[in-house]
Amino acid sequence: MRMYDLIAKKRDNFALNDKEIAFMIDGYVAGSIADYQMAAMLMAIYLNGMSDKELAILTDYMSRSGDCIDLSGIEGVKVDKHSTGGVGDKTTLVIAPIVAACGGKVAKMSGRGLGHTGGTVDKMEAIPHMRTALKEQEFFDIVNKHGLSVIGQTGNLAPADKKLYALRDVTATVSSIPLIAASIMSKKLAAGSDCILLDVKKGSGAFMKTIDDAIELSEKMVSIGAAAGKRTVALITDMDIPLGNAIGNSLEIIEVVDTLKGKGPEDLTEVCLTLAQNMLYLSGKGSLEECKKMAEKSLRDGSAFDKLVAMVDAQGGDTGVILNTEKFVKAPYLHEVIAQQEGYIEKMDTEKCGIVSVILGAGRETKESVIDFSAGIIMRKKVGNYVKVGDVLAVFYTSKKGVLADAESLYKEALTIGTHKPAKEPLIFARVE
């Protein structure tokens, strides 16, 4: 078999078969297929797409290109969740405790921040002494005992994806829906859970800018999950506006605690309850209606909050800051961003809000950057709010006084203030099963 012939076949819009896809992925990971040939193949896939069958085969080989986590040491149905990434997205740390409080099992590997989007592992590390790298047995023991553990990605998971992603990044092929679907699902399949909930973000802060693209991506990922024998559901949720009021690591942990105590922002609470409801449904805990009631009860009776405390304790974190969030180290500089114009906030450029938080120190500007856990933004006004001149739009937290002027001007650029009250958009646009 020759890679040249496979490229020509895909260029002419024919489907690749099982043996051809195996040859291509195995050869690329082993180094016998060169980057320039794989780059041509990626462009052919970008232009011509892939059938559901080809995509399922491609994802399967990608997922088996490295370590596959065997979660059979954990009793019960294990449910995973993946978010396609957003700003202020701290849902994992609210949802995992809710699901565990309702008897579900969450053995989850999460990522770090990427560009303008935050990452769960970075947020967890804002809790002093919290360990996010655990040996497999300890990870299993914590899930068996408490129902949840969230750690950083371990092992050599889906190396084919790592190599392909780096190549896509420099060949203008990242934004191919089939390639995004295979990339995400290859890692989810290798991570070993029995069922998968996908939170596909749509809007100015997300990869998917339109509902049509978000639905297409969701359908492809659900179909890959089904072909692999995993119950998979996708929810398309809003990322036109940052989620919740906090952006930045310890600020977001404080918001997680508030939400688990039933005092969180409405948007975050609604999205988390719906995601948790669907994870419980996938775990076979009942009908969607029953799972919704269970999830709500776990916030009311404090059992979800107790699960967060148990996980933090089991992973060596300082539960003192969770029990009293006043104990989190505070940023030395606080700066209020004041409105100079009256009107409704009509729009927020979510990506720009995320970039502001990075400028303040909450994310990485380079791979080597050290995160300032105390840095970030508390948004006091969001889309739909009416603001008067002199109102506080947001409060910035930082250790770098010198960045405040640039951060303020970019934040103001991110807000569109006008005379029209914007229509309230749904937080959850669609459910794909």
Residues binding ligand URA (CB under 6 A): 165, 180, 183-184, 207
Cβ–Cβ < 8 Å for 271, 386: no
**Minimum distance from residue 199 beta carbon to ligand URA (Å):** 12
Alpha-carbon span 254 to 4, nearest angstrom? 54
**Minimum distance from residue 309 beta carbon to ligand URA (Å):** 31
Among residues 81, 90, 162, 187, the one annotated as catalytic is 187
The residue with its CB nearest to ligand URA is 183
- Is residue 168 part of the annotated active site? The answer reads yes
Using the minimum distance from each CB to ligand URA, give the nearer residue, 184 or 239. 184
Using the minimum distance from each CB to ligand URA, give the nearer residue, 207 or 397. 207
Using the minimum distance from each CB to ligand URA, give the nearer residue, 180 or 241. 180
Query: Coil, strand or helix: which one is 346?
Result: strand
**Minimum distance from residue 184 beta carbon to ligand URA (Å):** 5
Lookup: tokens for 355 = 């970039």
**Minimum distance from residue 72 beta carbon to ligand URA (Å):** 25
**CB neighbours (10 Å) of residue 49?**
17
Using the minimum distance from each CB to ligand URA, give the nearer residue, 168 or 382. 168
Among residues 60, 80, 161, 238, the one annotated as catalytic is 161
- CB-based contacts of 409, cutoff 8 Å, min separation 6: none
β pairing state of 376-379 and 392-398: antiparallel
Lookup: tokens for 141 = 């023991």
Lookup: tokens for 196 = 């998968």
- Is residue 300 part of the annotated active site? The answer reads no
Among residues 10, 78, 81, 82, the one annotated as catalytic is 82
Using the minimum distance from each CB to ligand URA, give the nearer residue, 71 or 174. 174
**Minimum distance from residue 349 beta carbon to ligand URA (Å):** 20
**Minimum distance from residue 285 beta carbon to ligand URA (Å):** 28
Q: What is the helix (H) or strand (E) element at residue 162, kind and residue range?
A: helix 159-169
Using the minimum distance from each CB to ligand URA, give the nearer residue, 191 or 256. 191
Q: Which of 167, 98, 130, 120 is nearest to 306 (CA)?
A: 98
Among residues 110, 183, 204, 250, the one annotated as catalytic is 183
DSSP 9-63: HHHTTPPP-HHHHHHHHHHHHHT-S-HHHHHHHHHHHHHH---HHHHHHHHHHHH
Among residues 90, 105, 168, 335, the one annotated as catalytic is 168
- Is residue 187 part of the annotated active site? The answer reads yes
**Minimum distance from residue 174 beta carbon to ligand URA (Å):** 6
DSSP 189-247: HHTT-SEEEEEEEESTTSSB-SHHHHHHHHHHHHHHHHHTT-EEEEEEEE-SS-SSSEE
Using the minimum distance from each CB to ligand URA, give the nearer residue, 81 or 412. 81
Q: Which of 271, 187, 281 is nearest to 231 (CA)?
A: 281
Active site residues: 82, 161, 168, 183, 187
